[in-house]
Amino acid sequence: MRVKFSHANRKGVIVLALALSRLILISTYLRTVETDTQKEFLKSRRCQQIQGYLFCPPLFPEEFHEKFESLKQGSLR
C-alpha cells in the first residue's frame, strides 16, 4: 500500500485498511514512508511495520552490504 496524503480519500482508505487488519488479526506493513508526518500518522494508527526513504534511501548493493555490516555491529552511519 503506498502512503501518500495528497488526497483525503486515500487517508481514509489507509485508516480503514489498518482497522480491518487489526479486526482480522493480520499484520500491517506499509512502504514508501517519506515524511515524519506520515510516520507519526501510521504509528498513531498502530501500523506494525513501516519502511521508506525516511529511514534509508535506496542503496546500491555495495552500500547495502556496508550498512548491513555496520548495523550488525550496533552502529549507524
Give the number of residues written for the chain: 77
Q: What pTM did the predictor assign?
A: 0.65
Q: How confident is the model at residue 55 (pLDDT cuts 50, 70, 90)?
A: confident
Q: Is 80 exceeded by the pLDDT of residue 7? A: no
Which residue matches cell numbers 479486526?
23
Phi then psi for residue 30, to 5 deg, are -115, 140
How many structural domains compose the chain? 1
Which domain does 56 fall in, by range? 8-72
Mean per-residue pLDDT, 38-57: 90
Which residue matches cell numbers 514512508?
33
Does residue 55 sit within a domain? yes
Does residue 3 sit within a domain? no
Does residue 64 sit within a domain? yes
Does residue 1 sit within a domain? no
CA–CA separation, 8 and 47 (whole Å): 18
pLDDT of residue 6: 58
Query: What percentage of the chain's residues is helix, strand, coil (to nearest 5)?
Result: 50, 10, 45
